[in-house]
Amino acid sequence: DAEITQSPRHKITETGRQVTLACHQTWNHNNMFWYRQDLGHGLRLIHYSYGVQDTNKGEVSDGYSVSRSNTEDLPLTLESAASSQTSVYFCASSESGFPQHFGDGTRLSIL
């Protein structure tokens, strides 16, 4: 069965460190998304991609970057982790206009 997997599931790091969260999907979807979820804010879009070599900024992109070198993967990098980036991060994929499939999430704590 097709799936979307995120790793790691949990991570603790220190401020100022670079952190990369992995997202891998086997749906063969063109569209991939990164969201962060914080209490009271729902799901906020960080970055998204419509296909290989395409990346776009979302609502809360400052301090984050992504790259899309193949269809399956969209890693999310925090260039210099800040405590405000402590959150739960979800990756999702879809075809345009169709429902998004979400990964299980990564709980990131920045101390």
Q: Nearest 5°: phi and psi at 85?
A: -95, 5
**Most distant CA atoms of the chain, gap in Å:** 38
Binding site for other proteins (CB under 8 A): 31, 33, 40-43, 45, 48, 50, 56, 58, 90, 92, 94, 96-105
Shortest distance (Å) from residue 78 CB to other proteins:
20
Closer residue to other proteins (CB): 8 or 16: 8
Residue identified by tokens 């296909």 is 51
Residues 23/103, Cβ–Cβ less than 8 Å:
yes
Closer residue to other proteins (CB): 28 or 80: 28
Shortest distance (Å) from residue 50 CB to other proteins:
8
Closer residue to other proteins (CB): 48 or 64: 48
- CA dihedral angle for residue 82, residue 107, residue 1, residue 77, rounded to 10 degrees: 10
